[in-house]
Amino acid sequence: MVPPGTAIELPGRGTTFVREVTGPRRAPTLVLVHGLAATAGLNWFAAFGPLGRHFRVVALDHRGHGRGLRAPEPFSLDDCADDVVAVADQLGIDTFIPVGYSMGGPIAQLVWRRHPERVDGMVLCATSRDFRGRWHERVQYAGLGLVVSGLRLAPLPAVERLAEQMPEELVDTASRRWAFDELRRHDVRSVLEAAETLGRFSSREWIGDIEVPVSVVVTSQDRLVPPRRQVKLAESIPSAVIHVVDGTHLAAGTNPDLFAATLLDACRLVARRAAKRRQRRTRRQGPVMKRLDRWRSLARGRWRLRRPA
């Protein structure tokens, strides 16, 4: 079930749209980062329930997508990464696990690069360290932006006819009409700019510096982001563990139960590894903190002894 959403004002940035599942008390937080031409609801509709039983789940619509923030400046993946952290700030979330799908993968990577102190781990799905591959791959991304822009401008009867051809799996969570209503909320300019910007993204020079736990969910029948590129992403990150879904780039919608189950396994593994990492760091800091506390106690004692009566 897709949770209801709410508009959130991000100071100095604008208003965005966020869906949230509160999850168990003191559960780790996942921030779900959707793909190009999708929305939080469309991308993650099958995952909210399974993930929400174990995590606090937050999902936002990106700039120009759905009911996401509208801004006059050109679409920027860096801005999207900063929007994610701004949402966390507004919701009182200190650290979290970004979960990125397709375009959301680069955004999640940039969240770590720009705000490493906020990231406990990462889950990267159907994505890559760059999208500068062969010429036909670049054409595919541009074409996707054009298709979605066409839907945004198409007459309603034409959209309704297309809705009848959407995957049957969507009926369990939301009507196909709702799905196309989500698509029709996009800002055409932003989606086209996002497709072009994604084609220029590359994290090759710094992806190997990521030290937090990472799971990479590989969609094995993917033609938009070939599995070989997804595996190269995992091989570039020393801490990465691969999880495989037998599906296409749209596996989150066309094979939702399998995708959600695999995603849950990937997120739980990252959360466990992140907790152990925090424990090791605390143990290493233990002796240092004890010496510091002792010094502070001595300093306070001397101050009390020297204080005039």
Q: Is the pLDDT of residue 34 over 90?
A: yes
3-state SS class at 33: strand
Q: What is the pLDDT of residue 176?
A: 72
pLDDT-derived band of residue 177, with 50, 70 and 90 as boundaries?
Answer: confident
142, β-bridge pairs = none
Q: CATH assignment of 5-131+203-298? A: 3.40.50.1820
pTM for the model stands at 0.83
Residues 75-79 have a mean pLDDT of 98
Between residues 131 and 32, the one the model is more confident about: 32
Which range has the worst mean pLDDT, 170-174, 186-190, 263-267? 170-174
- List Cβ neighbours of 154 (8 Å cut-off, separation of 6 or more): 162
Confirm if 276 and 253 have CB atoms less than 8 A apart.
no
Residues 104-125 have a mean pLDDT of 98
Confirm if 30 and 99 have CB atoms less than 8 A apart.
yes
pLDDT-derived band of residue 140, with 50, 70 and 90 as boundaries?
Answer: low
Q: Is the pLDDT of residue 296 over 90?
A: no
Highest mean pLDDT among 87-96, 128-137, 148-157, 292-301: 87-96
Q: Which of 195, 183, 184, 204 is nearest to 253 (CA)?
A: 183
Between residues 208 and 300, the one the model is more confident about: 208
Q: Is the pLDDT of residue 12 over 70?
A: yes
* Each residue's pLDDT tens digit, 236-278: 999 999 999 999 999 999 999 999 999 999 999 999 999 999 9
- Please give the angle made by the CA atoms of 66, 13 and 95, to the nearest 5 degrees: 85
- List Cβ neighbours of 261 (8 Å cut-off, separation of 6 or more): 50
Q: What is the pLDDT of residue 162?
A: 40
3-state SS class at 31: strand
Domain ranges (residues) in the chain: 5-131+203-298
Q: What is the pLDDT of residue 145?
A: 47
